[in-house]
A and B are shown apart, each in its own frame.
Chain A
Amino acid sequence: MSNLEDLYREVILDHYRSPRNKGELPPPATCTEGANPLCGDEIKIFLDVADGVVRDVRFSGHGCSISQASASMMTTIVKGKPLADVRAVAKRFKQLMTIEENDGTTPTDIRLGDIEALQGVVKYPVRIKCAVLGWNTLLEGLDSTST
């Protein structure tokens, strides 16, 4: 089952079994909902943004191991980061998932850490949307907080 080991890396299963930052944040933190209408996965991203920095982040909802692990890893990397860095990481991640091209504006030295483990998802195109659900919802949340 070597192929599946590529997809279900231990670090992914670890985040799936023990998700980080799972839960909710009370207002004034914002709450953004995302859904994958094809598979029924649903996610909520709670964001506490102040002075251009993601001070805190939580996620809730349900979905497959890939969507849950990806959201969990995402929270650990964006927490405490300036908004510009968060957007750059999100962009880098979407490039990793092959759904966004590198237009040269994203520094290639951005480190994704554990999230790189999700690279195996690319071989399973239908699962890419699972991996990016949390990220797209996060970006939507950032757009609504900054306007």
Chain B
Amino acid sequence: MTLDVAALRDEFPMLSRRVGGKPIHYLDSANSSHKPNCVIDAMSTFMREAYSPIGRSSYALASEASDAYEGARSKVAAFINAYSPCEVVFTKNATESLNLAAQSWGRANLDKGDAIVLTHMEHHANIVPWQMLAKEKGFEIRWVPLTPDFQLDLSSLDQLLRGAKAISFTSMSNVLGTINPTRELCEAAHAAGAIAIVDGCQSVPHMTTDVRAMGADMLAFSSHKMCGPTGVGVLWAREALLAAMPPFLGGGGMISEVRLDDFTCAELPNKFEAGTPPIVEVIGLGAAVDFLNRVGMTEIRRHEIEMTNYAYRALTTRYGDAITIHGPTNPELRGATFSFAFRDVHPHDVSQVLDQHNVYIRAGHHCAKPLMRLIGANATARASMYLYSNESDVDALVDALDDVSTIF
């Protein structure tokens, strides 16, 4: 079954926004997605009718709110096929999730003489937290290189993993769209005695996620890229791993006992949720998960493959050699995220001209400077799509690029 995109678009109020009297074409969903009415309403209704602090108060509304919050946790756990809701930790965003992994698991497990493996296509959020810790602890960071067609070069993976304690990698590149062989990487890590940490920011919103099938040990992703609100991210990790990890942030909610000379931690997942959590946002994320389940992750992926085909054909047919699309050409191997160079026009100038046509793309280094160096660009223009993207968005992009040619 294909998606009824027109009907879906009606559920996203921002998509009917007009600027300068004309419709907008939002092609920046890899950055952040728009929100459907059901998410906006769930948050607004909760604040109007059911708001209460959670966890610590005994009145009826508090336990109702706690149930709603924990209900959202269960929804997220089921969405990624976690073994148990207690493996789902709510954070501020995926960046904090990866910092949690580094500062808690990494700090306890990595020392001088140890090594971890990252890849050349990581977002800064999966590089800098490890570099910060490595500066302090003196462990080695090894890098999986890329092949000329923008895949991970796995030919030396076993060698890189030898003696390493973890590999942390993205399941889908936010610049190239490349979908990585997550299961193969997790298996290789385990064979080498390392754990596998997956940055799922770009894949979780767009395709079925099954942490058991992929064999991951940790998975980080953010709500705001998957139709949920900003302000909440997720770190999923195997229960045994979380149980053995020291706490990350200290404070209320994460303790079971505090004395003047010591404290003990709360049970999972509270151990990793210090302070009042983003209650409203978590409720919103729960509603986003319901929405994505209703639409169907398989259908979303299929739609995005179709849109990838459509965009690839439209851009290359019109512009041929004038446009260079970075990333794999096979739509099965990539998400609907296109980084491109248009003639020799600087990406900021491209995006400025496109803005004039209400075509919204991202220009810059996409928080992946090591990868940009490999591509040989300081910046790229990036158009990225989601379940609500349609042919009209792509057509608007293709047409607006004509104007870039006219000016430059």
Contacts and interface: CB of A to CB of B under 8 A. Distances in A.
Interface of A: 1, 3-4, 7-8, 13, 38-42, 62-66, 124, 127, 130
The A contact surface, by secondary structure, is mixed
Q: What 8 A-B pairs have minimum CB-CB distances, sorted nearest first? A: A64-B348, A64-B346, A40-B378, A40-B365, A40-B379, A65-B349, A39-B364, A64-B349
Contacts of A3: 356
Interface residues on B, range: 10 to 19
B379 A39 contact: yes
Nearest to B353: A4
The B contact surface, by secondary structure, is helix
B260 interface: no
Contacts of A66: 348-349
A4 B378 CA distance: 24
A4 B369 contact: no
A1 B379 contact: no
Given A1-B356, A13-B407, A65-B408, A40 B372 contact: yes
Contacts, number: 46
Contacts of B363: 39
Interface string B345-366: 0111100110010000001110
A8 B356 CA distance: 12
B346 to A, nearest CB: 4
B136 interface: no
Nearest to A124: B352
B356 A4 contact: yes
A66 B352 CA distance: 11
A130 B356 contact: no
22 contacts: A1-B356, A1-B403, A3-B356, A4-B352, A4-B353, A4-B356, A13-B407, A13-B408, A38-B364, A39-B363, A39-B364, A39-B365, A39-B379, A40-B364, A40-B365, A40-B369, A40-B372, A40-B379, A42-B378, A63-B346, A64-B346, A127-B348
Given A40-B378, A42-B378, A130 B408 contact: no
A59 to B, nearest CB: 15
B356 to A, nearest CB: 5
Interface in B24-67: none
